[in-house]
Amino acid sequence: MQQVKNGDTVRVHYHGKLTDGSTFDSSEGRDPLEFTVGSGQVIKGFDDAMTGMQPGEIKTVNIPVDEAYGHRNDDMMMEYPKSEFPAEMTPEVGMELHMSDNMGNVFPVVIAELRDETVLLDANHPLAGQDLIFDIELVSIG
C-alpha cells in the first residue's frame, strides 16, 4: 500500500486539541484539508506526522510548542495610542483587529490590555506557547 512521502499532496481530516482536551480546530463537517507534505503549508509537527501514513490510517500526534506555533514572543506585544482608534470604536480586551506594517502586510492582533492612554496589542499567533494534540485521518494521497 502507498505511504506518504515528502512532496506528496495529501487530503486529511483532523481534530486539533489543546493539552486540556479542548478543541481549537477540526475539519468535521468540511472537506478534508489538502496540502503538500514538506512544503511548509502546515506546522512542522503536523507535516512530520504525515510521513509513512497510509490511506485510511488514523493516528494521534502530540506536537510540542517548538514544532507548532512556537513560544510567545514579547516583541510581538506593542502599545498603540487610544487616540488613534476611530471615534466610534470602543477598544475592549479580547477584541480582534487587523493592522498593517510599513510594507502593507496585514496581520491580526488582539487587544490584551487597556491602559490609560494606550492599548496593549498582542500579535502572537493565538496558539503560540501551546503544545498541541492532533487526531489525523489520512483520506488520500495524490
Kindly report, residue by residue over 120-134, the tens digit of the pLDDT: 999 999 999 999 999
User: pLDDT band at residue 110, thresholds of 50, 70 and 90?
Assistant: very high
Domains in the chain, CATH or no CATH each: 9-70+127-141 (3.10.50.40), 74-122 (2.40.10.330)
Kindly report, residue by residue over 17-44, the tens digit of the pLDDT: 999 999 999 999 999 999 999 999 999 9
Radius of gyration of the chain (CA): 19
User: pLDDT band at residue 10, thresholds of 50, 70 and 90?
Assistant: very high
Predicted pLDDT at 36: 98
Residues contacting 35, CB < 8 A, separation 6+: 9, 10, 41, 42
